[in-house]
A and B are shown apart, each in its own frame.
Chain A
């Protein structure tokens, strides 16, 4: 059974850069049949897809979001990461990582999520 676990700071100051990691266990991140994705959920709101990365390093982002996001992958550590620059209070959210099946675009495994609060 594939498991994903987010890690990173729970509190970030405005204008700083947020960095989160997602560690994958129970399966290889090198599998070509999947993309690895980040999704966030602002307090009391719905799911917002941020983007995903393939093991090859190719990425795709939600065009509705500003280009402050960067997703990368480290296959040697079976991890992928999210960086969000110039954070504001509007970036306060629970951030989830998930595995995406390429052929169907379904998110079949999710991490438990990590709450990130942007505050001085």
Chain B
């Protein structure tokens, strides 16, 4: 069971908007730590998609955006494209006594219908 909770799957048709949630707690997202998002295409390594809640590394389309509120964060993808079909992971820093320094969400599989 992951410290950060994501829905196992989401889907959307091309051109639509989808969001992926990432729910944490007061020891990670709720403490104000940055949330980062990664995209993992099939058979590939994860790639940093969004950092520091809503900063896009060079080359990442502005169709991808992040937000954070309280103990949760969200990744939004607008104008969905077939090549967006991938697994998406959120990640943050955690300071709980039983938690680790780095925590990942369980991942969300995005299917483009």
Contacts and interface: CB of A to CB of B under 8 A. Distances in A.
Contacts, number: 65
B104 A49 contact: yes
B44, B99, B102 interface centre (most CB from chain A within 10 Å) = B102
Given A46-B2, A47-B107, A105-B33, A110 B46 contact: yes
Interface string B86-111: 00010111000011111111110000
A49 to B, nearest CB: 4
Interface string A86-117: 00000000001000100011111111110000
Interface residues of A, number: 22
Interface residues of B, number: 27
A107 B46 contact: yes
B112 interface: no
A110 B44 CA distance: 10
Contacts of A107: 36, 38, 46, 48, 91
B59 to A, nearest CB: 11
B57 interface: yes
A43 interface: no
B89 A47 contact: yes
Nearest to A62: B100
A96 B33 CA distance: 24
Nearest to B46: A110
B14 interface: no
Contact of B93 (A47, A105, A113): A105
A68 to B, nearest CB: 16
Interface of B: 2, 33-34, 36, 38, 44-48, 51-52, 57, 89, 91-93, 98-107
